[in-house]
Amino acid sequence: MEQLTNRILPVAGLMLPVLTIALLALLLADPFRSTRSFLIEANTLGAEITFDGGANHWDLGEAVLCRPLERIDLRAAPGSGTCDTRRFVESLEPVALAWNDDATITITDRGARGLSMRITGLAGLPDGSLVFLDRAQLAELGALSFVGHLVLGRSAQSGESGLLLSGSYEARERPLLSAQTETVKSGLLRSGESARILEDGALALTYGHVTLPEDPDQRGLHFVGVSAPGRSALEVSYFGGRAPNLIRPNWVDRALTSPLLIAGLFLLSSAAGQIQLLSSSFAWLTGKRAALGQDTAPGRPRQSGNSPRKTRRSWRKRRPWR
């Protein structure tokens, strides 16, 4: 039994580092994190949505609709309406937009003029059609939901009016052997940046909505979008940058935010402490038994407690002057 225990305890002590490394590899390895989603939230003066699947339907009520002319009439007067009459035919009518796949809308906040929406790829409307909507109308409509591909903000070049004002993002992943998602990385979006979510180099499918900001005095539109699970990354670009920045979680982010990893390391450290305690206790008991066995071994001379005194007396008898 002692020989078996002497073999098991050292092996267990050596296996703990191996198990720790294996646990770290399983919990932190990127190949097991295939269900990543990005949540992005921003206030922006401009955004672009390309619709893709889902029941995308916006009933805007009565709004100004401007259809582009087949030929631009530069000799005519611009007119005093919302749209330039040399380029558009303007009308005030109920606008209901049933978005088909690949239809694109570019939304820009025009301040006192309300919101302008430039539409391309929508069946029933010529490309380049414009819809103007008052902010009060959007407040009454509430949220306008969408399923598609989202781009927030535009490059901060001179004269650009569709800038991103502020925002934030979160990267959420589903760990191995877990049904819950974890926020493994988060950050802020700054004014003048442009952000979009990518999957394998293309725009990722995003579910979201657009509303007015909570503060009525704040300009811009409030966008919230969540990308579909996949191998996604957030691309952030800005004017003057050589290349866009790709943001995705790494093993350091997972190590700092994973409760499962923290719990696993705690259990391993507790097991290591117990093994060390058992090893020390067993070594002490083994040494104690060995010492007792040596004291009671046959043929070993045993000293008497009175031997030093007897030696002293015999030495005294041999002194001649005694």
**How many residues appear in the chain?**
322
- Tokens encoding 79: 């007119």
Are 172 and 156 contacting, i.e. CB atoms less than 8 angstroms apart?
no
Other CB atoms within 10 Å distance of the CB of residue 236: 21
| CA separation for the pair 158, 162 (Å, rounded) | 11
- Tokens encoding 244: 């866009």
| CA separation for the pair 243, 236 (Å, rounded) | 9
Q: Which pLDDT does position 85 carry in this prediction?
A: 86
The model's pTM is: 0.72
Tokens 């893709």 belong to 52
Q: Which pLDDT does position 257 carry in this prediction?
A: 66
Q: Which pLDDT does position 227 carry in this prediction?
A: 95
Q: Which pLDDT does position 217 carry in this prediction?
A: 81
Q: Which pLDDT does position 271 carry in this prediction?
A: 59
C-alpha gyration radius of the chain: 39
Distance of CA 288 to the CA centre of its chain: 57
Tokens 């005095």 belong to 217
Other CB atoms within 10 Å distance of the CB of residue 186: 14
**pLDDT tens by residue, the chain, 322 residues:** 444 445 554 555 556 566 666 656 555 555 555 578 999 999 999 999 999 976 789 999 999 999 999 888 777 777 777 888 889 999 999 999 999 999 999 999 987 778 999 999 999 999 999 999 988 898 899 899 999 999 999 887 777 788 999 999 999 987 666 667 888 899 999 998 999 999 988 999 999 999 998 887 888 999 999 999 988 999 999 887 778 899 988 777 777 766 666 666 566 666 556 556 656 665 556 655 556 566 555 555 555 555 455 445 544 555 554 4
Tokens 């582009």 belong to 68
